[in-house]
Amino acid sequence: MKRFFGALVLAATSCFAFGTASAEPVKIAVIETLSGGQAAVGKMFLTAINYGLIRLNNDKVWPDGIKLLEYDNQGGPSEAADKLKAAINDGAHIIIQGASSAIGGQITDDVRKHNLRNPGKEIMYLNVGAEAMEFTGSKCHFYHFRWNGNAEIRLRALLTSMKDARVLGSRVYVIGQNYSWGHDVQRLVREYSKFGGYTVVGDVIHDVNKIQDFAPYVARIKETAPDTVVTGNWSSDLLLLMKAAGDSGLKVRFATYWMDQPGNVANAGATAIGHYNVSSFYPDANGDATAKFADDFKAKMGQYPIFIQGHTVHGIWGLGEALKKIKPGADGKVNVKELAFAMETVSFNTSMGEVAMRKEDHQVLLPLAVATVSKDAKYKVDGTDMGFKTIRLVSGKDAASPVQPACKMERPGA
């Protein structure tokens, strides 16, 4: 069910000259997993979106304010498709979603089709978490903007940092989930073997969110004796993998995309020490700047930002920067096409460094931090004596991978 966040409706403090219509509010629809096994992740996105909107509120980026609408996709693409229709019927201009590339794939395709069929009534998709390569590759389109990393950008940063720190090793195993994201990670780890100086000694793809006991998978990892295990697993699939690894006493280094998801370090226990993770934000990543951001987030939201929350906030702020560049039409309406053109050129500074949208494929170039689990970390997690200690902060330009040839961006007439 959707609900309106009244506290996040900006005051209508401006209006047009006498005799013209006042501006309509910008309506942002969050279509996230807010119930079931993946709800914790969806709610973390929602918390970050709420925090990000505080700045848009303070900056008064739109004359008649912003309304945030909430929809529960229940963790499935078909449910997300239904909620997207509901959001459109409720007048949404912008769709935000992040948890799961499978769901994101449904949303981005449905947004593209809607816009083709309804010229003048376009909607925009702000992707804050779906990292499969196809979103800025074969499925790229003018009204999709990815404000997070992708499988290749993050793997490059992770492998480079571990190789330079001489902790990657020469034997790598890959375990991942059986959908576009997991297959991307599996393929890229193999393609980057020469770059990383390692041999892939084994890999496995498993069903998504259906495996309750990862002990057999951990046993297969042990048999291949890798130095490092790379995994793109997230949510319960990573939590349970970490639990099985911890229970078995597996002596191997994990290189992960989502180790900073709450619960993973606690589940792995002491075996988590020395694991590596790449993220869009850590409180210690850029000294006082990121510490200040983290303290403000905690003061307002009751927790330090972690996992997907840093780049999600930046995505909302990027939307604010784009909204500042446009004005309501003569009828007071939000012109989403004009907003999308403005979004293509957004760049601004954050506590992590410069964040800039790439016009060619609508992939954001964002700073990434690579960290290791350590007892020396300043910020502890999961109620343990361990946390993430940043070993390298990579700028957005240095982390960037090339535009994929499969992206054939078609822009509407201005």
409 by DSSP, 3-state: which? coil
Are both 81 and 224 inside the same structural domain? no
Residue 132 lies in a domain: yes
Residue 412 lies in a domain: no
Q: Which residue has the tokens 């361990």?
A: 386
Domain interval for residue 220: 152-279+367-399
Are both 248 and 330 inside the same structural domain? no
pLDDT in tens, 332-373: 899 999 999 999 999 999 999 999 999 999 999 999 999 999
% of the chain exceeding 90 in pLDDT: 83
pLDDT in tens, 176-235: 999 989 999 999 999 999 999 999 999 999 999 899 999 999 999 999 999 999 999 988
Are both 376 and 350 inside the same structural domain? no
Does the pLDDT value for residue 18 go beyond 60?
no
Residue 405 lies in a domain: no
What CA–CA distance (Å, rounded) separates 375 from 270?
10
The domain that holds 102 is classified in CATH as 3.40.50.2300
Are both 383 and 237 inside the same structural domain? yes
Q: Which of 406, 408, 399, 403 is nearest to 149 (CA)?
A: 399
pLDDT given for residue 16 in this prediction: 39
Are both 300 and 379 inside the same structural domain? no
Are both 130 and 64 inside the same structural domain? yes
Residue 374's CB is within 10 A of a number of other CB atoms, namely 16
Residue 75's CB is within 10 A of a number of other CB atoms, namely 23
Are both 25 and 43 inside the same structural domain? yes
- What's the predicted TM-score (pTM) here? 0.90
Are both 109 and 174 inside the same structural domain? no
Are both 18 and 109 inside the same structural domain? yes
pLDDT in tens, 286-303: 999 999 999 999 999 999
Q: Which of 346, 373, 359, 353 is nearest to 310 (CA)?
A: 353
pLDDT band at 21 (very low <50, low <70, confident <90, very high): low
Last residue within a domain, chosen from 365, 385, 408: 365
319 by DSSP, 3-state: which? helix
Mean pLDDT computed over 147-156: 95
| Cβ contact 88:80 at 8 Å | no
Q: Which residue has the tokens 């997207």?
A: 84
What CA–CA distance (Å, rounded) separates 87 from 92?
5
% of the chain exceeding 70 in pLDDT: 94
Residue 385's CB is within 10 A of a number of other CB atoms, namely 9
What CA–CA distance (Å, rounded) separates 276 from 258?
10
Residue 1 lies in a domain: no
Reading the block at residue 3, the tokens are 């609900």
Are both 274 and 310 inside the same structural domain? no
Residue 395 lies in a domain: yes
Residue 411 lies in a domain: no
Residue 317 lies in a domain: yes
pLDDT given for residue 135 in this prediction: 97
Q: Which of 239, 232, 241, 174 is nearest to 214 (CA)?
A: 241
| Cβ contact 380:386 at 8 Å | yes
Contacts of 254 (CB under 8 A, 6+ apart): 228, 229, 230, 231, 242, 245, 275, 276
- Through-space distance between the first and last CA atoms of the chain, rounded to whole angstroms: 36
pLDDT band at 20 (very low <50, low <70, confident <90, very high): very low
E strand or H helix at 184? helix 180-191
Domain count, the chain: 2
CA 136 to chain centre: 14
Are both 263 and 389 inside the same structural domain? yes
Are both 381 and 320 inside the same structural domain? no
Mean pLDDT computed over 240-265: 92
Over the chain, what is the mean pLDDT?
A: 92
Residue 207 lies in a domain: yes
